[in-house]
Amino acid sequence: MPIIIEKQYNNHSYLAVWHITESHNELQAMLPSEILTDAELASIHHPKKQIEFFCSRLTIKYLADKLGIKYLGIKKDEYGKPYLVGSTWQFSLTHTAEYIAVVIHESQSLGIDMEQPSEKLLRIAHKYLSETEKNAANNDLDKLCIYWSAKEALYKLYGKRKVIFIDNLLISPFSKDQQVIKGRLRINDIDEQYSLIVEKIAQYYLVTVC
Ligand SMILES: CC(C)(COP(=O)(O)OP(=O)(O)OC[C@H]1O[C@@H](n2cnc3c(N)ncnc32)[C@H](O)[C@@H]1OP(=O)(O)O)[C@@H](O)C(=O)NCCC(=O)NCCS
C-alpha cells in the first residue's frame, strides 16, 4: 500500500497521502466493483486521469476502512464538491501527477490542495492575489505557490462557485518556513477565519484547511 504519509491533526481530521507508483492495470485491479463502477470508468477518458481517479478513490477507501466508515461510493453535488454517500463524514482531495492527498473529518467541511512552484504562477498572480498579497509574495515562486494552494484549499472548503479569489479569499502575510498560516473566507454573509497547515512533500506544497 503506497500510502506514504498518514496523520491526525489536532482537530481530529485525518490526512493520507498516496505516492503513485503503480501502473494503470495494477491500480484498476485493486478497485472492487463497489468503488469503481463501469459508468464512472466510462466517464473518464484520459488514462492519466483514470490513474488519478483510481488512486483518489483507493485513498478515500483506505481512510474509510481505517475510521470504520462504511464506503458506499462518492458522488458530487451541483458545484462538483464530492461527498461520501450515506455518511456525514466530510472530505477533500487533491491530485498531482505523482501524489494524491485526502483529508477527512467526521463533520467539518475541509479543503486541501497540492501544487508545485512554477513560472506560470508569476503570470497569473494578478488573477488570484490582491495588491497587498502580491507585494507580500514579492515574485517569490514558493510564496506564490503557497498562496495559490491556500486559496484553492479555501475554495474547496467553501465548495460553491462565483468565488473571486482576489476579494473573497484572503491570506495573511507569512514567511516561507511558517507551518500554519492564516486565511479568511469572506463571501456573501460569511466571514470566517481559518488556520491553514503548510507542508512540503518533495517539490510540492500541500496546504490543508481543516
Ligand atoms: C475544482 C478545482 C478546485 C480543482 O482544483 P485542481 O487544482 O484543478 O485539482 P485538484 O486535483 O487539486 O482537485 C481536484 C478535486 O477537487 C474536488 N472538487 C471539485 N470541485 C469542487 C468543489 N466545488 N468544492 C470542493 N471540491 C471540489 C474534486 O474532488 C476533484 O477531484 P475528483 O474530480 O477526482 O473528485 C479548480 O479547478 C477550480 O475550479 N478552482 C477554482 C476556480 C478558479 O477560479 N481558480 C482560479 C482563480 S484565478
Q: Is the pLDDT of residue 201 over 90?
A: yes
Return the CATH class of domain 113-209: alpha beta
Q: Is the pLDDT of residue 1 over 70?
A: no
CA of 199 to the centre of ligand 1 (A): 19
Q: Residue 80 CA: which ligand 1 atom is closest? A: 20
Which pLDDT tens digit goes with each residue over 116-173? 999 999 999 999 999 999 999 999 999 999 999 999 999 999 999 999 999 999 999 9
CA of 161 to the centre of ligand 1 (A): 11
pLDDT value for 22: 95
Cell 467553501 found at: 158
pLDDT bracket for residue 37 (50, 70, 90): confident
pTM: 0.96
Residue ranges per structural domain of the chain = 3-108, 113-209
Second-level CATH architecture of 3-108:
Alpha-Beta Complex (3.90)
pLDDT value for 38: 80
Say if 3-108 and 113-209 have the same CATH topology.
Answer: yes
Q: Residue 53 CA: which ligand 1 atom is closest? A: 34
- Nine cell digits for residue 95: 491530485
Three-state SS at 188: coil
User: Mutate which of 56, 58, 93 to test ligand 1's pocket (most atoms within 8 Å of Cβ)?
Assistant: 93
Our answer on whether the CB atom of 159 is closer than 6 Å to any ligand 1 atom is yes
Which pLDDT tens digit goes with each residue over 48-107? 999 999 999 999 999 999 999 999 889 999 999 999 999 999 999 999 999 999 999 999
Angle ∠(206,207,210) on CA atoms, nearest 5? 130
Q: Residue 152 CA: which ligand 1 atom is closest? A: 3
Integer Cα distance of 95 and 114 in angstroms? 7
Neighbour-count burial of 103, counting CB atoms closer than 10 A to its CB (0-12 exposed, 13-18 middle, 19+ buried): buried
